[in-house]
Structure 1
Amino acid sequence: MSSINALPLLSAGTWNIDPVHSTVGFSVRHLMVSKVRGEFTTFTGAIEVAEDGTPSVRAEIDVTSINTGNDQRDAHIRSADFFDAEKYPTATYVSTAVEADGDDFVVHGDFTLKGVTRPVDLKLEFNGVNPGMGHGPVAGFEATTVLNRKDFGIDIEMPLETGGTVVGDKITLTLEVEAGLASA
């Protein structure tokens, strides 16, 4: 599938993700009855828009920056049971194509976590462009996807006596992104 001029309001150039005004969050089922939510506090990325309007995305997430609001849980998630963050401190996403999907978009790409790369599609809502506050234009996006942790080698099983597991297999990622056009 080839990239298309999917985001015509973005001018050509590099749109850097602003980590101060962006969030990389997730949720996962816990004990089969509730969800644990968290975020990664350190990440970088950019949207490159070619002269013909074709967008591409590259992002990196520091998995050691996980924050679920519980230090003990965060340390366990960083361990070899889950992310093995000492060996694999960074997750990456590199787009391969962008296509329109009604009023929204789908970003196709390759996601690498814990040394495993798999194709991942992000459902993308483009929130438009604002002239900014004296530092150049900014664009807003919301992207979501659901991953299976086992696809990335995170296959720890913590079964419950009553059936099911402590941690669900499906992880919902939600990205709230504000990106600013880099000056020439």
Structure 2
Amino acid sequence: MQNNIWFKALVLGILIFSNWLTIAQTGVYGIDSNQSKVSFKISHMGALKVNGIFSQYSGQFIFRDEELLAVNCRVLVESVNTNSQERDDIIKNEAYFDIDNYPYIKFQADEFFVKDNNRNLKGLLRIKEGENTLTFPYDLTYDKTLDQVKLMAETEIKRKDFNLVFGSMNGLIGNKVRITLEIIATKQ
């Protein structure tokens, strides 16, 4: 009888400790915009490619046991840089990104899965009034010594899917936008 009580107490202790260990292994990682890069590429006038970056963004990754549970990010549209101040000013105006009314591009993901031996994430991308669900592969590396994670991903969106239609200039600007993410996040 006494052995049975000790056994139950031991099992209960193991269950409580393993639950605590799982909670302890969950972590929030903040994006380090000084080490990260958010870039894009779009065609212009059919043959030219315009490369751009956003220099200001923030967000968090939530992990458990080195696996992603959630991603929440936002990009300050005003920080766009295409190496042409004139073009950047045009991109920011009301006809394009309308930064006065829509200062951020936002992305949230909470679905992560493996398909064809690749990690994939699924989330909601919001640009101006448009929002669409995106699913794309990503690579993730975890540096235990620095307590950092690195997420690398590329995806392609169609700007018209986000109601980014630019009037008379619409035919000169490609519909497909290639997005490249190189994100470093450090445990908070």
TM-score interval for Structure 1 and Structure 2 normalised by the shorter chain = 0.7 to 0.9
Change (3 A) 1:70 1:83: same
Q: Which has the higher mean CA deviation after the structures are superposed, 102-111 or 82-91?
A: 102-111
Contact 2:61 2:68 in 1 (8 A): no
Aligned to 1:8: none
Compare CA radii of gyration and give the structure with the larger one: 2
Contact 2:111 2:123 in 1 (8 A): yes
| Partner Cα separation in structure 2 for residue 172 and residue 82 of structure 1 | 17
Aligned to 1:35: 49
- The CA RMSD measured in Å over matched residues stands at 1.9
The one-letter code of the counterpart of 2:90 is H
Q: TM (normalized to structure 2)?
A: 0.80
2:140 is the alignment partner of 1:126: yes
2:79 is the alignment partner of 1:65: yes
How far is the alpha carbon of 1:150 from its aligned partner?
Answer: 0.8
Change (3 A) 1:18 1:33: same
| Partner Cα separation in structure 2 for residue 54 and residue 179 of structure 1 | 12
Aligned to 1:147: 157
Change (3 A) 1:73 1:53: closer
2:70 is the alignment partner of 1:56: yes
Aligned to 1:175: 181
The one-letter code of the counterpart of 1:138 is Q
| Partner Cα separation in structure 1 for residue 44 and residue 123 of structure 2 | 28
Count of matched residue pairs: 164
Q: Which has the higher mean CA deviation after the structures are superposed, 79-88 or 50-59?
A: 50-59
For structure 1, list consecutive stretches of 5 or more residues without a partner in the other structure: 1-10
Q: TM (normalized to structure 1)?
A: 0.82
How far is the alpha carbon of 1:125 from its aligned partner?
Answer: 1.2
For structure 2, list consecutive stretches of 5 or more residues without a partner in the other structure: 1-24
| Partner Cα separation in structure 1 for residue 114 and residue 120 of structure 2 | 6
How far is the alpha carbon of 1:53 from its aligned partner?
Answer: 5.0
Q: Percent identity?
A: 23
How far is the alpha carbon of 1:51 from its aligned partner?
Answer: 7.1
The one-letter code of the counterpart of 2:128 is K
| Partner Cα separation in structure 2 for residue 40 and residue 53 of structure 1 | 26
Change (3 A) 1:40 1:180: same
